[in-house]
Amino acid sequence: MISFTTAEQALHAPEHEFFRGQRVPCFENPTRARFVEDALRAHGHALRPPTADSAPLLGEVHAPRYLDFLRTAWDQWLALDAANAQVQPFPSVWPVRTLRSDVEPANFVARLGLYSMDNGSPMAAGTWAAAKAAADAAASAAHALRGGERAVFCATRPPGHHAGPDFMGGYCFINNAAVCAQGLRAGGAARVAVLDVDYHHGNGTQAIFYERADVLFVSIHGDPRTEYPFYLGHADETGAGAGQGFNLNLPLPARASVAAWFDALEQACARIGQHGADALVVSLGLDTFAGDPISTFALQAGDFTRLGQRLARVGLPTAFILEGGYAAAELGENAARVIEGFEA
């Protein structure tokens, strides 16, 4: 299986975030990708840099003014004060109900809030370079599948499935799964399915494709009544307009059993089969692992092999896009198990 990685991922290295009101070291950090890369190499997988430019696809999944902000945000931050090079910017105000979002504020922190769903996506000097490179890997995965590859893995960060059409959140800036799906559509796939198996609902991916019938979105995740991102991911969200019926959420309660999770996976695979997709994009969150520090599902190491085996039986060209997973020492091995299960 082709595996893409990026040297630029290490450039996105903010030092801290806020978790349950406390300032803590970032859970999403460069060591995550290194653990995955090391495990893949140990299992005999070759890694290569991206081969495609995602730029033509970015405007198909994200709003132009949001992309303009991302490209220039760090420079804007430094322009306020050169000392900001040592300071992480965080939003402190958001345009919630009754507030306007159509007018871009002149104040930088207000712009940061305009384009953020939370304060959980700390930025650093290399954030745009890392996010763009991860999107390039996703575009490269689509190109490889169009060229006849059976499967591709993107061992990249930052993740992407919480990034919506015009906002960042949950460590995500560019929606890599959406870029890959759009790349497949641009390359001639009539229908694409996106399956999100991260512990947290892929709210950004849902938002991007919610009114489209050509891209089916299916997500298995923790119940948003108790789990991030809280405000999306309920079972009654089934699509709108042309996309009615092309969005399937399968929320599970915290501490759901492994059996319940695989039952949901069967429902997901059945719906993907009904969609008649030409290709599958998997938002591969590995935070469903029992040892993950910020999630509560119970999958064990062998269950990731089983996941790969089940996805292989779907029988579609498949792109795996790394999303969450914060039990760093086990992250790489669990990623390798998915790949090896798929290839078995």
Question: Any alpha helices (H) in the chain, and if so which ranges?
Answer: 30-42, 55-61, 64-80, 108-114, 127-146, 176-186, 203-209, 258-275, 301-314, 328-343
16 given a catalytic annotation: no
Separation of alpha carbons 330 and 194, rounded Å: 25
What are the counts of helices (DSSP H) followed by strands (DSSP E) for the chain?
Answer: 10, 10
pLDDT of 337 higher than 90: yes
Looking up tokens 């641009």, which residue turns up?
186
pLDDT band at residue 13 under the 50/70/90 scheme: very high
| 155-174 tens-digit pLDDT | 999 999 999 999 999 999 99
Amino acid identity of residue 218, one-letter, is: V
Separation of alpha carbons 196 and 193, rounded Å: 10
pLDDT band at residue 230 under the 50/70/90 scheme: very high
| 274-326 tens-digit pLDDT | 999 999 999 999 999 999 998 999 999 999 999 999 999 999 999 999 999 99
The dihedral built from the CA positions of residue 91, 97, 98 and 103, taken in this order, carries a sign that is: positive
* Annotated catalytic residue, options 45, 162, 201, 221: 162
pLDDT of residue 303: 98
3-state secondary structure of 326: coil
Angstrom distances, CA of residue 144 to CA of 8, 156, 176, 272 = 21, 16, 15, 21
| 91-135 tens-digit pLDDT | 999 999 999 999 999 999 999 999 999 998 999 999 999 999 999
Mean pLDDT value across the chain: 97
